[in-house]
Structure 1
Amino acid sequence: MRLSIELMGEDVSSARQRVLDWYDCNARVLPWREGPGAALKADPYRVWMSEVMLQQTTVPHATPYFEKFTTLWPSVSALAAAPDERVMAEWAGLGYYSRARNLLKCARAVVSEHGGVFPADEGALLKLPGFGPYTAAAVIAFAFGKAANVVDGNIERVMSRLYAVKTPVPQARPLLRELAARWVREDRARDWPQALMDLSASVCRPKSPSCLICPLREDCAAFAEGQPEAYPLKAAKAPKPVRHGVAFLIMSEDGFVVERRPDKGLLGGMLGLPHLEWRSEVWSEGEIVFPSVHHGNEAWENLGTYAHVFTHFALKQQVWRVVLSTKDMTAFLRQHNAYQGLSWGEAKSLPTAFAKALRPK
């Protein structure tokens, strides 16, 4: 593969310094970050927490969750001692719930295997639950200030444009990691990946990049070509399969019925509405077996269908509602031990895939 930029064989020190100079003037203020040039070690717990939350999540969406979690559980030991149900409930709405399960597993491993202290070694971090190459490199760089090749999708975008990489993602990722590694130095090891991330967030954006104010403009092959937005090239995506479900909203004026999902599998360990199997065929009304309630099936009302997109499939789910009196709701919950009641004020503990059922369109 031929790269269309001379930087491939040149010393990048001058270009790297321009980026760091830009970062010194334009660094974002984030609750988990030390500022430019910080000499002290950052708290590895806060760094790790932020990186887990930022996976597949934007900074504005993750920030209130980070602040809430670090207030509730200010140390890795506190998080390790937290009840699973409480952590999963507080995570609701952040998505990708396997991250929350791995968060607990990792916290408990740090306490049991490392005395409540994150190891300052990339290899040791990779042995912890939920740690992949990116998270390990990020903690090493951001928390401990050591040189590490931190490469996320944002840094991939910068590298793909800088070198005008003609191979589409994801096939290009090994090359993009190699190119990013050429810029890693011991000098300002913590600041360098943060500088690239801030550059990607405010200048080298996915759409409408602000190339004229970019400190790498004169080195960027994609800018020279006049089409920076074309990079990174992306392979055509296959359409997501669609699955169909039926959710049951059993409610009273005080709240509604939920069930605890199995620990393993999609949304494992989370609370959700009772529902039928998610399958490829649409459920006809004649196929639906409704939970047995005091008033019988004639009380059920079809509220419509809502859509939700998971990583690997799209869900279209019907919502059927039955309204009970407080007395009948109490009797129903006593009769069905697998179910429990939530108040309307606790609806925020539902994952989005089920919270949408409370407001179907």
Structure 2
Amino acid sequence: MIEWSETKIKAFQQTLLDWYDHNKRTLPWRQDHNPYHVWVSEIMLQQTQVQTVIPYYLHFMEEFPTVQDLADAPEDKLMKTWEGLGYYSRARNLQKAARQVVTDYHGKWPSNAHDLQELSGIGPYTAGAIASIAFNQPVAAVDGNAFRVFARLLEINADVAKPQTRKIFEKVINKIISKDRPGDFNQAIMDLGASYMTATNFDSSHSPVRAFNQAFLDGIEDQYPVKTKKKRPVVHDYFGLVIRSDNGYLFQKRPSSGILANFWMFPLFDHQDLTDDQSLSKSALIQIVEAKMQSDYQLPIKLSQVLDKPVTHTFTHQQWKITLLEGRLPENVDLSYFPGKWIQPAVFDEMTFSKVQSKLWSAYQKRPSIS
């Protein structure tokens, strides 16, 4: 790892901030230093691209202009506003943290990174971003951009996939960060990582900090950051049941914890929960589903496969492959034993559906023939 002198650090700060002053991205959450605005934008930007976030952020601020508004919001309204951004635990943690600010801190935000991490859903990066941007605290905000930029600038060989590596980068960046303009410094690193120093197709020959980029100067930039490959997501095979009647479509509410908690979805059956015999044919598995609908919910139904290919959705550590089955029940069927309800398509737009459910509905609508 390369170490810079104080003179070089000052030169880097000046070069970076001069470039940022003339080229920074115009983003709605950069119009002020309000910690609420910084916080919401940073949570939204986790796992989501900037251009996708902008309209969601603007709409979110219209619906919940203050932390008090967010704390008081009905969960259904919050989830509907968040719909489409995915990773819905982020929205739930936002509200939990908003209530902490209102109740535990009497509406006044903690102003340092340590205390900010006491709020639900705020980790080291988000705490660093809020503390530096909103409160001018000279603390590093180490995200993927910072890992990539500083790994190349200083040829840091630590594996960024390992949790302990964050401490190495925090220590390095805290020595280099501008003490006068820490928020602008961190945002400049974000912009640099999103432009000249991207993960692929980077353009360091035109970068404003190319003279400081040791990996570029040594011709080994493609070797940084050092990162071991992630494990492939575990595949889960499901049946998704599209059950119709004159009352609409049958939906089941997901459990209150785990993936897609509390969302209304078509009923799902994990193949692994149906049988220990993984050699059974699909038709045999469908018969087991029909039998479970009868035995568990008192719902006698005949199911048939809708599409040749399953609907696929990938989470961070899991991939779901959902084979759609359809069937019909009479209008007056007894749902006393079934943990769900009928929902008419006319009110789908008023419901908050997960991205998985939206994919299932879209795929079902595109089925070859409609009976």
Alignment of 1:94-105 (within 5 A): 94-105=85-96
Picking from 96, 113, 119, the partner of 1:128 is 119
1:51 corresponds to: 42
* 8 Å Cα contact 2:305-2:323 kept in structure 1: no
Which of residues 6, 16, 20 in structure 2 aligns to 1:19? 16
Q: Which amino acid aligns with 1:216?
A: V
SS at match of 1:167: coil
Mark the CA change 1:255 to 1:94 in structure 2 (over 3 Å): closer, same or farther. Answer: farther
Q: Supply the distance in 2 between the matched residues of 1:101 and 1:321 (Cα, whole angstroms).
A: 33
Is this contact kept in 2: 1:165–1:232, CA < 8 A?
A: yes
Distance in structure 2 (CA, Å) of the matches to 1:14 and 1:207: 27
- Equivalent residue for 1:191? 184
What SS class does the counterpart of residue 114 from structure 1 fall into? coil
CA contact (8 A) 2:147 2:160 kept: no
Q: Which residue of 2 aligns with 1:81?
A: 72
The answer to whether the Cα contact below 8 Å between 2:131 and 2:137 also exists between their aligned partners in 1 is: yes
1:201 aligns with 2:194: yes
Cα offset for 1:253?
A: 8.3
**Structure 1 residue 48: Cα displacement:** 0.8
2:296 is equivalent to residue 303 of structure 1: no
Structure-2 residue corresponding to 1:179: 172
| Partner SS for 1:286 | helix
1:267 maps onto 2:260 in alignment = yes
Gaps of 5+ in 1: 35-40
Contact kept? 1:209, 1:228, Cα under 8 Å: no
1:144-197 superposed Cα distances (whole Å, 9 cap, x missing partner): 222221111111100111112223222333322222222123211221101110
CA contact (8 A) 1:333 1:341 kept: no
Q: Please provide the CA RMSD for this pair.
A: 2.7
Q: TM-score, normalised by structure 2?
A: 0.85
Q: Does 1:110 align with 2:114?
A: no
2:326 corresponds to 1:321: yes
Name 1:62's counterpart in structure 2: 53
Tell me: CA distance 1:235–1:241, structure 2 relative to 1, closer, same or farther (3 Å).
same
Residues 1:355 and 1:88: Cα distance change in structure 2 (over 3 Å): same
Cα shift readout 1:48-97 (whole Å, capped 9, x = no counterpart): 11111111111112222212211111111111111122222332321222
The verdict on how the C-alpha distance between 1:42 and 1:301 changes in structure 2, with shifts beyond 3 A counting, is same
CA spacing shift, 1:136–1:318, aligned 2, 3 Å: same
The answer to whether structure 1 residue 339 and structure 2 residue 330 are counterparts is: no
Residues 162/78 of structure 1: CA separation in 2 closer, same or farther (3 Å cut): same
Q: If the length of structure 1 is used for normalisation, what is the TM-score?
A: 0.87
Which region of structure 1 is more displaced relative to structure 2, 212-221 or 299-308?
A: 299-308
Say which structure, 1 or 2, has more relative contact order (CA 8 Å, 6+ apart). 1
Alpha-carbon distance in 2 for matches of 1:12, 1:278: 57
Report the secondary structure of 1:12's partner residue: helix
**Residues of 2 paired with 1:330 and 1:229: CA distance?**
64
> What is the identity percentage for the equivalent residue pairs of Structure 1 and Structure 2?
32
1:231 aligned partner: 224
Aligned residues: 349
Partners of 2:13 and 2:79 in 1: CA distance = 41
- Is residue 248–residue 342 contact of structure 2 (8 Å, CA) maintained in 1? no
Aligned-partner Cα distance in 1 for 2:116–2:361? 41
1:286 aligns with 2:287: yes
